[in-house]
Structure 1
Amino acid sequence: SADGSANRMVGVVQDITKRKVAEGSLRQSEETARRQLVEIEAIYATAPIGLCVLDTEFRFVRINDFLAEINGVQAADHIGRAVRDVLPELGEVQEGFFREVVQTGKPILNQEVHGTIPSQPDKERDWLTSYYPLRSGDDQLLGINVTVQEITEQKLAEQALQERAQELMQLNTVLAQTTALLQERNRDLDQFAYVVSHDLKAPLRAIANLSVWIEEDLMDQIPEENQKQLQLMRSRVYRMEALINGLLQYSRIGRIDTKIETVNVKELLDEIIDSLAPPSTFTIEIGENMPVLTTRRLLLNQVFSNLISNAIKHHDRSDGRVRISVADHGRFLEFAVSDDGAGIEPRYHTKIFTIFQTLKARDEQENTGVGLSIVKKIVETEGGTISVESQLGEGTIFRFTWLKQPKPVISTN
């Protein structure tokens, strides 16, 4: 109106829905970006590996404390500086990787880097590094993401392991050579023993045969005393031959493998007793639960034969009693051969297992003194033990253990 008062009002309405939606989206994007930034900061702060970002001129843009500690330089002292300026030796090594990532736009993974850092120039170290291209939203290359993991201790462990492996290889070579040499020496020893045995036995047999011929041809002309001397000479010859056989047997124990087979111990003992042919007045008992096992039959036979034969031969009566028993101890068996004979004084318990040692003079009883030493060597070679329990006048018990699974033996054949 003329006086300036409003006669009417015109209203304008503008739709700002899209703007509000856009502002909401922007706030949400900003919130997401802030959250992602916090997450990235947390990752950088807590990651157990070294992380850094380089620009395309290979200068540090950001670095986490873990990598700064690896480098021996404060994190702030990295920013804006080229890698080769902060780490001269390592920068020169790594720039080849940086250039390749910039030129190809492709990552380079798991590259081992070896060198030193300025803060510890005398300590050689190793790192496992990877390099990833960092791109903008429009796929422009902004820089390089680098991950670094120190593997110095791992490399030292690998090196030590390789050195030990090399030492083991050398040791195995020496062991193989030594084994071959021992096998050759054992073969030589076997051959020598055979030759010596043959050369010793031949004249012994000749002496025994000659004494028989003299006795047969001159029986009526030889005084009774001289006949006894001829018989004594033959018994000494036979004992010498038995001694030679015992020595050969003793020398071969543990050096020459024997056949492993399934053995019924009850049947084995029956065979041994039949072959020993004890006096009819003797009683030999075989305990119950004798096992069936896989073992070296010949060696177990030798052990039982010697122990049972000794129990019979050294008994002080013609009506003695011998008993064989067994106890199961899981991984091994314990056999016992006991008798009710004269017994052995405790002071001789060790002596009887020594080769050539006898408790009676050889003039009183034919004995080579080898039997129990053979038994002991067989039992111990097979991984067992042997002991004696005895008192004078109270009989004797020999106990020996025997593995259920036989030990391997290096054969010299």
Structure 2
Amino acid sequence: MTRNPQAESPSTKVLSRRLTLIAVGVVLTVSLLYGSYHVFTMRAAALQAREAALQQRASFYAGQISWVFREMQDQAATLARHPPVAGIIRASADPHAIDPADGSSLEQWKDRLAVIMANKMEVHPHFTNMRLITAADGWREFVRVDRGDGGPLRVAEEALQIKGAEPYLARLKASPSTLPYFSEITYNREHGKPDGGPVTIRFIQPIRGPAGGLFGALVFNADYELLLQTARPEVLRNQRVAVVNSAGDYLIFEPEGRTSRLHHNTDPGFRPLPEVEALGNRLGEHAFANLDEEMVYLSSVPIRNTLHFPVKLGVMTFGKRDALDGPIAGVVLRHALLTVVLVGFAGAITHLMAAEVGARFENLTHAVHQSHARLGWTLRNMADGLITISGEGRIEEINPAAEAMFGYAAEEVAGQPLTMLMFPDDADGHQGHVGRSQVGPQRTKMAGNREIYGRHKSGRRVPIEISVSRAELNGETKFIGMVRDITERHAAERRLSELVTQLRRSNEDLDQFAYVASHDLKAPLRVIQNASQWLAEDLDPHLTDDTRESLALLQGRARRMERLLNDLLEHSRIGRTNQPDEAVTGPDFVASLTDLLNIPAGMHFETEGFDRVTLPLMPLQVVLLNLVSNAIKHHDRPDGSVLLSLTERSEAWHFTVADDGPGIAPAFHERVFKIFQTLRPRDEVEGSGMGLAIVRKHVEVAGGRIELISDGTRGTVFHLTWPRRAGTAVEGLAA
């Protein structure tokens, strides 16, 4: 209930007057002091703030630039420690070019190193090439990966160059024991002269053999401009940032992400940055300068002391000198007016706050009581049991759900050890389980790898699930346990186990049936086939046309029955046996499928979309073979056509099998997918009627989708969606 501010009590009025006087006095004092200080220090403070901001941002950007070069060095050092480098050294020393450590050939190690280099260049777009150059054979390139238009590309063996005359190797050749270093910043060179490529900086990482001798060097080429842009400084609206070096090269970062091109000292018409000339030769140290209308701060880029770096690097931040020469009288007037407003506002607001504070305190007290009541109602009506436990393991409170779960009233368990709700086996190791569980403020599920049973007052076992959290109250440790009765879950798990057992038994019966169909039923058929064949051969002189036709009909019916049994057996095994996990390219898939098809003369079979894909061979081949074979077999013209097309999607492949045959009436669209169903008599078109049933079951097991579209007059289209990660068989459980 909120108090009415208009009905103030005497104590509230006294509080209001006192607070008003205090507020007015404080506002006047602070306003006068601040106004005086503000007038005399406004200009100096603004200038100092601007200088500090420029210094801070310059130092920050310098650290970012430093990190870019350290990261380039670290990448080279990491690659030098990769196994392919050591493998190349060992294999090169072997007369047969075989690594004695693991039997890999020198070419295999070179291939592996090239793959690692390509991966690094994918991640770091500023690297233009990476090379392993050996000291032997005039410092010839041994492995090289360049950045091409389509990405990293390994350079062929015959295109590798001899780099012994390049300036960036002179330091290493003169002092083989030298440490890693950066080269001069120049335009890229190929075959001993500039090739029109970008301005390049190179990092040379010496490679030494097991005895410490110089084997060669890893050389990382980086586009100097892209390398600097990797730092991506966030330039403020009224600022510019420039990265400069002692050779005169510079790159300016403009506001809003605009970046000027790199200016190299060898460029035609190169003009040095004027601010660099104003600061003089101060690269390598921190410096500040006030120019005519601009302030400039130069921060040195820190480079590791162990590295040789060809130039000194610096970051310059520029800022405009904002004029702070406004009339002092205007500042004083504005400050005086503000003071009057603040005094009046402080007096008014303080008077209102005195009454409001009292009302809010009363409302807060009422809200606390309501919150306590809601919490009590929540605890009483929770479906799960709630137990609060002291640090010594004694029960303090339980809610009604816990009372019903364990059969005790709250008064009976208060102050009793928690182990009274456990059976002896769990009670003995209770404290150890709590200690090992590392219970913290977050809820922790107890005994996740074993079953827990609570002890009911009657002595019966209650299967439970417990989550425990720990909290501090007035310096004392408390535990809060959430207890759930999972009796119904246990019953459901038992029922599920029984169903699984029944399903396994059913599948065993199905396996037995498949065995009978495959062996016991086929044996008589083979006898009939052989006997009819023998009769036809032995009695050929005595047979009439009618008897020959009857024997041929008998043999055909026997073959049809064998095909029916084979297709029925295949249908029963779909989803219960794992297919070979073999992937083939699209052209190989089409070639294999075409080899299995019996395409009559005059019939045209075409494919689309298989050029750049890789597909699982089985059971996808079985599905498409059935669809294409049906389209050919059931065509009503000798010069028909069948088109198999593929569309690649992110989660699945979409196949379309389209023919210009007689079509399938909509009334039969569902019937054709059932077993032993044919739309034409088997004497006209030989078949078991199982093909599309096998197709649908394969598709359903894989988690795909198949759709038939035809108006029954001309042409049929099957749309097949096959997921990229098709379902696999689970032994003993597939139905």
What band does the TM-score fall into relative to the shorter chain? 0.5 to 0.7
Q: CA deviation at 1:253?
A: 1.3
Distance 1:67 1:334, change over 3 A: closer
- Greater RCO, 1 or 2 (C-alpha within 8 Å, sep 6+): 1
- Is 1:209 paired with 2:530? yes
* 2:503 is the alignment partner of 1:182: yes
Counterparts of 1:251-270 in structure 2 under 5 Å?
251-270=572-591
CA deviation map 1:333-357 (0-9, x unaligned): 2111111111112221111111111
User: Deviation at 1:366?
Assistant: 1.4
Contact conserved, 1:110 with 1:128, CA < 8 A, in 2? no
Displacement of 1:379: 0.6
TM (normalized to structure 1)?
0.61
Match of 2:158 in 1: none
* Residue 308 of structure 1 pairs with residue 632 of structure 2: no
Distance in 2 separating the partners of 1:71 and 1:321? 78
Q: CA deviation at 1:219?
A: 1.0
SS in 2 for 1:159: strand
**How many Å separate the matches in 1 of 2:640 and 2:370?**
91
- CA-CA distance at 1:205 after TM superposition: 1.0
Check if 1:412 corresponds to 2:723: no
After superposition, residues 65-80 of structure 1 pair within 5 angstroms as none
Q: Is the 8 A contact 1:351 1:357 kept in 2?
A: yes
From 544, 560, 565, the counterpart of 1:223: 544
Post-superposition Cα deviations, 1:30-70, rounded to whole Å, max 9, x if no partner, equal xxxxxxxxxxxx9xx87999xxxxxxxxxxxxxx9988999
**Counterpart in the other structure of 2:672:** 352
Larger CA deviation: 250-259 vs 203-212? 250-259
Which aligned pairs between 1:130-169 and structure 2 lie closer than 5 A?
158-160=482-484, 163-164=485-486, 167-168=488-489
Aligned residues: 295
Matches of 2:607 and 2:667 in 1, distance apart? Answer: 29
Q: CA deviation at 1:291?
A: 6.1
Q: Percent identity?
A: 36
**Which structure 2 residues correspond to residues 272-283 of structure 1 after superposition, within 5 A?**
272-283=593-604
**Displacement of 1:71:** 9.7
Closer, same or farther in 2 for the Cα pair 1:183/1:339, shift >3 Å?
A: same
Unaligned 5+ segments in structure 2 are: 1-360, 378-387, 401-406, 416-472
TM superposition score normalised by structure 2: 0.36
After TM superposition, give the deviation of residue 411 of structure 1 in Å.
1.3
Residues 23-102 of structure 1 mapped to structure 2, 5 A cutoff: none
Matches of 1:174 and 1:294 in 2, distance apart?
A: 41
CA distance in 2, matches of 1:201, 1:192: 13
Structure 2 equivalent of residue 361 of structure 1:
681
**1:112 Cα offset (Å):** 4.1
Instruction: Tell me the amino acid that sits aligned with residue 483 of structure 2.
Output: Q
CA distance in 2, matches of 1:68, 1:218: 104
Change (3 A) 1:110 1:256: same
Deviation at 1:125, TM superposition (A): 6.3
Q: Distance in 2 between matches of 1:70 and 1:318?
A: 83
1:247 counterpart residue number:
568
C-alpha distance 266-169 of structure 1, shift in aligned 2 (>3 A): farther
Cα deviation 1:297-341 (Å, max 9, x = unaligned): 332111011111101111111222111112234212211111111
Aligned-pair CA distance for 1:184: 4.0
8 Å contact kept, 1:346–1:390: yes
Q: How far apart are 1:123 and its partner, in Å?
A: 11
Contact 1:281 1:318 in 2 (8 A): yes
Query: Using a 3 Å threshold, how does the CA distance of structure 1 residues 69 and 320 change in structure 2: closer, same or farther?
Result: closer
Distance, in Å, in 1 between the alignment partners of 2:552 and 2:666 is 36
Residue correspondence of structure 1 range 12-27 to structure 2 within 5 A:
none
Q: Deviations over 1:358-396 (max 9, x none)?
A: 111122221211111111111111111111111334211
CA–CA distance in structure 1, aligned partners of residues 563 and 720 of structure 2: 25
Matched, 1:337 2:657: yes
Query: What RMSD, in angstroms, separates the aligned Cα atoms of the two structures?
Result: 4.1
Counterpart of 1:377 (choices 678, 689, 697) is 697
Larger Cα-atom Rg: 1
- How far residue 191 of structure 1 moved from its aligned partner, in angstroms, is 2.5
Give the equivalent residue in structure 2 for 1:7.
none
Counterparts of 2:376 and 2:502, CA distance in 1 = 56
Map Cα deviations across residues 181-209 of structure 1 (whole Å, 9 max, x no partner).
42343233212321233121111111111
* CA–CA distance in structure 2, aligned partners of residues 240 and 69 of structure 1: 76
Alpha-carbon distance between aligned partners in 1 of 2:372 and 2:633, rounded to the nearest angstrom: 86
Cα gap change, 1:359/1:66 in structure 2, threshold over 3 Å: closer, same or farther?
closer
Alignment pair present for 1:114 and 2:397: yes
CA deviation map 1:135-192 (0-9, x unaligned): xxxxxxxxxxx8699x99x75xx323xx35x655654555455434423432332123
Are 2:683 and 1:400 aligned?
no
Which structure 1 residue ranges, 5 or more long, are not aligned?
1-41, 50-63, 73-93, 98-107, 130-145
